[in-house]
A and B are shown apart, each in its own frame.
Chain A
């Protein structure tokens, strides 16, 4: 039988217990069109369904920025980073934060929301949470445009650092996908895991340097503060968008990077291990 397989031009697919993931990454590549079309569907539906949906993407960061600028900048009188206006600094930190929180909440509900697909067709399941991350990226693009308008308003010019923005966006997506995949997979079996998300999003907003600069954190704590992966991501964004006005604290950034990679690895590994049973559980 094995000789026949070797000489045969048509590939033979073997399904066996525990064998499903052998060609995982190749399969994933083969299903790239499905990924694209699911992502397109999510975006189309989001912007088709509600005018408010589109408007929401503008209003939410705008109001958050105003409140944070007032509370942290004016009332608490915290310093900005270098010469950057406080509201621009807040906005630069909010960009990755909203990307993170949107991916986390969209992805975690995506599998259960697409239960009928999972029960009826095969495809690498990781496509679903990943494609819902694309919706978050579209919102991100809207927010980024808002930031540029804000910069024009203040007459604040970014430096060459901005060239590296795509790399930091990729980092932010990776930082979000790791925990998102982990919670998504857990949520299939233990539906109560989705209740963790609002908590992470709300709590995280205050423990991450969104409304303030991470420079206000006492220096002896700064390294450990970076255990929160979003600290590195947000610092990176500020370095990139605010130019030389913001210094990147390198050891902390590397620590955050390490945590991001660890979460991503754990998320993907756990997702892959459990996805075979999704159809039986969902």
Chain B
């Protein structure tokens, strides 16, 4: 392993075993059940004594969350790991931070790794802010001496000086997140592994965290970073590794990696379901609950990637046990960075979507989706209009907006920001003449 390579993964794989229950067999002889039961019990007992992970169920299936992943990371690299949900990003981070062991291949790591897969791991609500700093610091791998040395800095960063001796359970969620992130931000390992943790907290604090991350990356520290926020990734990382179905499909500069990712998502879109969210099987005792959210295009055909400025229909299915005439349905879109872009709510004066009981849906149709290419979070909810929420599903799905299909709108040079606002640039007919006139009054 050359001196400047700090992580080398060779043929890394992680296998999970999933059990299936085959209940659809019509005729089951008691003999079969017994023999199966005995065989199963024997197998499980054997597994137990060998410390193997065995799955329950009649048939088991192997599932490779990661397969044959190889890469090298040099000292000082800041690498973004991109992929859709379930592409294996989290599994990779878990292996690198030793939480779970690989099923195949090997990883060599040089230097101390600190992993930040969650903000505030181990925070205990009964303990005070001060106590939690020490607890969380120790959990993240800091020594007591280190924490004591940085304690004031951590507290100042979190802006919670006045509440240090208050139990954390009395903190607002913002304070909680700030304190937790402050501890994490003061870790000084050689290699830092960060899962999507910046999608929390208010915008101001997020900016501060990003600044801190930038600083960390600037100090020659090696950072592995998972995020859905392409903007953050491209500003922080110099290199990107794209995962899809457990395999590395691109390993290149960040811009190229993002491009490869977008292409891959678009390619997959035809086969992936258009369902953003589905919990139709779950039983809920609530008066009314969201059970499913689908994405459709104008022709009511399923859709996963939405072209910028294209039309889209959000079909929101709900299950009601009680009719609520004054009920409303809410749809909200947020950026990957977490700021709300829009929030729509039905008005009972015009439409009463919760008037029926049973399973039914309401469509929210957007004729021209004014969003820049990128990923956005969708939240949906049900409410007693203007009174209180009945059900709120925060960030239940992500939608991917791609480049506009029709040249309906001109994408200017290097656009920034989440919104597409119809606009035109108009050149003046004779600029030089006017400038000359203006400068010599």
Q: A-side interface residues toward B, CB under 8 Å? A: 1, 4-5, 8, 10-20, 33-34, 37-38, 41, 44-45, 48-49, 114, 116-123, 186, 189-190, 270, 273-274, 276-277, 279-281
Inter-subunit contact A8/B139 (CB<8 Å):
no
Known: A4-B2, A41-B127. A19 touches B121 (CB 8 A): no
Chain B residues near A274: list those with CB within 8 A. Answer: 51
Chain A residues near B131: list those with CB within 8 A. Answer: 41, 44
B140 contacts the other chain (Cβ, under 8 Å)?
Answer: yes
Known: A12-B109, A33-B138, A121-B99. A189 touches B48 (CB 8 A): yes
- A33 CB, nearest partner CB in chain B, Å: 6
How far does the alpha carbon of A4 sit from the alpha carbon of B4 in the complex, in Å?
A: 11
Inter-subunit contact B106/A41 (CB<8 Å):
no
- A41 CB, nearest partner CB in chain B, Å: 6
How far does the alpha carbon of A199 sit from the alpha carbon of B94 in the complex, in Å?
A: 37
Inter-subunit contact B126/A34 (CB<8 Å):
no
Q: Report, nearest first, the 6 A-B pairs whose CB atoms are least far apart.
A: A273-B51, A122-B98, A274-B51, A37-B138, A16-B106, A15-B107
Residue from the list B101, B111, B126, B139 in contact with A19, Cβ < 8 A: B101
How far does the alpha carbon of A7 sit from the alpha carbon of B108 in the complex, in Å?
A: 16
Inter-subunit contact A44/B127 (CB<8 Å):
yes
Interface residues of B toward A: which range?
A: 35 or more
How far does the alpha carbon of A8 sit from the alpha carbon of B52 in the complex, in Å?
A: 35
B110 contacts the other chain (Cβ, under 8 Å)?
Answer: yes
How far does the alpha carbon of A262 sit from the alpha carbon of B307 in the complex, in Å?
A: 67
How far does the alpha carbon of A119 sit from the alpha carbon of B93 in the complex, in Å?
A: 11
Known: A16-B102, A33-B138, A186-B48. A116 touches B121 (CB 8 A): yes
Question: Which residue of chain B has the shortest Cβ distance to A117 in the bound complex?
Answer: B122
Chain B residues near A281: list those with CB within 8 A. Answer: 53
Residue from the list B94, B107, B115, B127 in contact with A279, Cβ < 8 A: B94
B342 contacts the other chain (Cβ, under 8 Å)?
Answer: no
How far does the alpha carbon of A12 sit from the alpha carbon of B122 in the complex, in Å?
A: 28
- A120 CB, nearest partner CB in chain B, Å: 5
Known: A33-B144, A121-B121, A277-B51. A17 touches B102 (CB 8 A): yes
7 extra A-B contacts, CB within 8 A, seeds A120-B117, A279-B100, A281-B53: A8-B110, A10-B111, A41-B131, A44-B126, A117-B121, A121-B122, A277-B51
Inter-subunit contact B1/A4 (CB<8 Å):
yes
- B116 CB, nearest partner CB in chain A, Å: 9
Interface membership of chain B positions 124-156, coded 1 if the CB is closer than 8 angstroms to chain A and 0 otherwise: 101100010011001111011000000000000
Question: Which residue of chain A has the shortest Cβ distance to B103 in the bound complex?
Answer: A17
Question: Which residue of chain B has the shortest Cβ distance to A118 in the bound complex?
Answer: B99
- B99 CB, nearest partner CB in chain A, Å: 5
